[in-house]
Amino acid sequence: MTRRDSHQTWGGRFSEGPDARVAAFTESVSFDSRLAAHDIRGSIAHARMLASVGVLTDAEFEQIAAGLEAISQRIADGAFEWDPALEDVHMNIEARLTEDIGALGKKLHTGRSRNDQVATDIRLWLRDAIDALIAEVVRLRSALIDLAEREAETVMPGFTHMQVAQPVTFGHHMLAWQAMLARDSERLREVRARVNRLPLGAAALAGTTFPIDREMVAGELGFDSVIDNSLDAVSDRDFAIEFVSAASLIMTHLSRASEELVLWMSPAFGFVDLPDRYCTGSSIMPQKKNPDVAEIVRGKTARVNGHLVALLTLMKGQPLAYNRDNQEDKEPIFDTVDTLLASVALYADMMPHVTVHASVCREAARKGFSTATDLADYLVRRGVAFRDAHEIVGQSVQHAIGAGCDLADLELTTLQRFSTVIESDVYDVLTLDGSVAARNHIGGTAPAQVRAAVSRARAML
């Protein structure tokens, strides 16, 4: 029989093959073929274990391993023909192995099922993907830390409710982005630890009658431990949901940064400029320079969030143990990794080249009476109750609005009309530089604290 004629390894029970539409509907090799390298790696470890416990001879193991390595090379060279009639990556590789080395290839599947095999493959693949993502997140964090150091003294307005609130430094703002990504790095490492547990050996759902050595396989494949319960091993997709949840948070953080970059780059703000190579123009308005990378990352966040909802919904009604529904877990995971990796990498490339217009940022901080809180704090230090100080400052702001000037531009005699405790040293706190410098504590926006935070953040990397 040809490989296509014996289209399934499970065909013995059936009197006919599946309807062509069913075969097309149920195949997964069109997307799970990207697991091939990990499938082969897991199969070699499984075969080595079978030899160690006497199910295979050493010679049989060597022949199987050599056959799998040859298939791996053909796949890498693009010379492997994937057959949708064989359903998935596992059956394609096993069928080709049997073609290449004969009936011995059929022994490879002893003591395992596609259920624990695919669970192993996806964990191996996702573990590598997480490692790559952590590296890119670290690269972006490093870029933000460098930018924070460069702009440690650049004063800009801090906002609440998108209204000017208090002056901060641009470097302090970049370190806030970095702090979000630092938590993301922690989450990815935590998820990786739960991904890194071996399901192989659970077989279909109940384990196997063969004398397997699961710890040996775990050691060879670099897993930290084996999953204790065979039912849980083949049916669990918590690790996938956790990963996509962590990815959704990273994309949400990038989306928030994107929103700020889009605003800051607009002429209405003019705080920053992005390199031309990360922007595009308009088909009708020649003056436009659109921050497309930021906008598309903001948009792709919805895509990843959708994958999280899809996986949660996929699992919510499944009884134990494995169900074919779980074929639908791979495309959301694959696309989440692809989307996240591209987004983080582009940001890591782009952020070192952001141009910050310090004078524009500073002028914007002068608007909106951003040092009003500093005046209130000044009054409190002079013995005025905070609620009374709040009222005094409100009256001062109202007067400055009518005069068309900033608080720092009001004459001392004018300020003293609102409180007699005000003296000439008030101008030390009403200036932008005085305001940011006064917040000189851990977590504060003072330039000295930004530089100290930069050092701590670098040490964390």
Q: Active-site residue numbers?
A: 161, 282
Contacts of 386 (CB under 8 A, 6+ apart): 376, 380
Residue 134: Cβ within 10 Å count: 16
d(CA 224, CA 208): 22
By residue count, the chain amounts to 461
CB atoms near residue 143 (< 10 Å): 20
Partners of 355 in beta bridges: 273
Nearest-CA neighbor of 143 among 344, 295, 279, 359? 344
Can you tell me whether residue 76 is helix, strand or coil?
helix
C-alpha distances (whole Å) from 98 to each of 102, 105, 108 are: 5, 4, 9
Q: What's the number of CA atoms in the CB half-sphere (13 Å) around residue 357? A: 16
Determine the Cα–Cα distance for residues 362 and 167; give it in Å rounded to an integer.
9
Structure tokens at 44: 């070699």
